[in-house]
Amino acid sequence: MTTDLLHRGVKLLHDPMRNKGTAFTIEEREALGLRGLLPPRVLTQEEQVLRVMEILERKPNDLERYVELIGLQDRNESLFYRVVVDHIEQLMPIIYTPTVGQACQEFGHIFRRPRGMFITCEDKGRIAELLRHWPHEDVRIIVVTDGERILGLGDLGADGMGIPIGKLSLYTVCAGIHPAWCLPVTIDVGTNNTALRDDPLYIGLRQERVRGAEYDALITEFLDAAAEVFPDAIVQLEDFGNTNAFRLLAGHRNNYCLFDDDIQGTAAVVLAGLWSALRITGGTLADQRLLFLGAGEAGIGIGELVASALVAEGMPPDEARRRSWFFDSKGLVVKSRDRLAEHKIPFAHDHAGTSDFVEAVNMLRPTAIIGVSGVPRTFTQPVVEAMGQHNERPIVMALSNPTSKSECTARQAYQWTSGRAVFASGSPFDPVDHQGRTFIPGQGNNAYIFPGVGLGAIVSRASRITDEMFVAAARTLADEVSEDDLRLGRVYPSLERIRDVSARIALSVAEVTYRSGLEREPRPDDLPGAIRAAMFDPAYRPAITP
């Protein structure tokens, strides 16, 4: 029989990609120099999962569970993904929102061992060299952040690395992207968070953020280097600040295979939720009037994608944008306002202004309010009650993450509308019992979208990521919502079905690739089969072959 001589004994047990721990068979232990290095009993992966879940149940809080799971990921990747895939509804809030927010805030204090790559402004001219230090050559997905706008928590600098790590875990859990294809990157250009700079355990550069031409040159060098070193990789921009995110997406999306999840992924999951909600409320997307609380990356991204969907249905672009209205920290975004940020101008409509959100609701009578402000409890009782007065079934989307930043709770939305609200949130809420009925709130989690988009782009070898792909992903996600889901008040499918949903989204995205002529190799004869074949299964594989 043959063995990999580079992966034997203790070295094999310290390789998370190949380690199986107590699940190595007697034959594998003999062949690979493991006999005596492991307890004598051979356990199945299922038995190992039971032990991990028991350990997690004994932990006192979710942050400790996060630390335990990251430690498992560092030791045994297959077991980590088996545990999360098998218990996705329970564990996704641990490995991502809301717990990942607290993990980022305390990243320097819970740091155990490095994952991913840290590139700093001191690495100018050497980024390609640094990327070649990565041990896996066939990288297909890179999630990169500069840590300036982590969830709704603000500038966390290098401590924001928890976000790329978590996002890439979801790529594997939700769409089967192989862990060896994934590269988390943090570009550290400093932080303006003085508390972090003063923290003796902070892991990043202790300086104010680099801005302007130097910053732009560093990002461009990174994108050029990534395309050179990993030519098949898709780059996902994540949690960049508003001052950079729109400019970076607009400036680079046609030159690289790149997208911004905060702008485009969020937009797609919300568009899908709106289409699903219309099956409850009635009407069409063209009939809706949307009022956003917050006019940053997420809000403007949603407005633009909704407009794209309406234009595809035949509506003129200006009219399509008039379906979306925005309310920011200074009030309603209207034409008469001075010094509007460039990304807000297309949605600055001709209307009287107001600095009172309740008044804006009463003036515009929106069919849906969409919270993307990062400011908690801003969908107050008067706001939600006003929505209920103007709509038989008001759509209320409180999307800010983590849970502590949500504009309102699920219980509040249902109570303040006598159970008539169609509610969705960014972070999970427990089921709500109200007036003899149980509601299961839908979670507008980007994990419904970006893993499937990435899988479809990988299989079709797309040269670019387009808005049409995100519209197709949103339509597919909405189609996956069952009548049973809608009866429970849920406008997204159960997370337990996420891998099947992601495979269907991947198929719709790949179809757009081929229809648009963006493929870099011929279409496979069996495209659904190719998608399924590309999905990583975290079951153990034989460590030796005859």
What whole-number distance in Å separates Cα of residue 344 and Cα of residue 326? 8
Can you tell me whether residue 321 is helix, strand or coil? helix
What whole-number distance in Å separates Cα of residue 254 and Cα of residue 242? 20
Active site residue 124: no
Active site residue 66: no
The catalytic position among 20, 167, 171, 414 is 167
The first and second tokens of residue 356, run together, are: 């009172």
The catalytic position among 96, 215, 256, 540 is 96
Backbone angles phi, psi at 530, to 5 degrees: -65, -35
Contact between 423 and 398 (Cβ < 8 Å)? yes
In Å, the largest CA–CA distance within the chain is 79
The first and second tokens of residue 522, run together, are: 């011929």
Cis peptide before 16 (omega within 30 of 0): no
Contact between 289 and 305 (Cβ < 8 Å)? no
Contact between 472 and 508 (Cβ < 8 Å)? yes
Burial of 398 (0-12, 13-18, 19+ CB in 10 A): buried
Q: Which parts of 38-117 fold into alpha helices (H)?
A: 45-58, 62-75, 77-86, 88-95, 99-105, 107-110
What whole-number distance in Å separates Cα of residue 280 and Cα of residue 426? 20
What whole-number distance in Å separates Cα of residue 451 and Cα of residue 499? 9
Active-site positions read: 96, 167
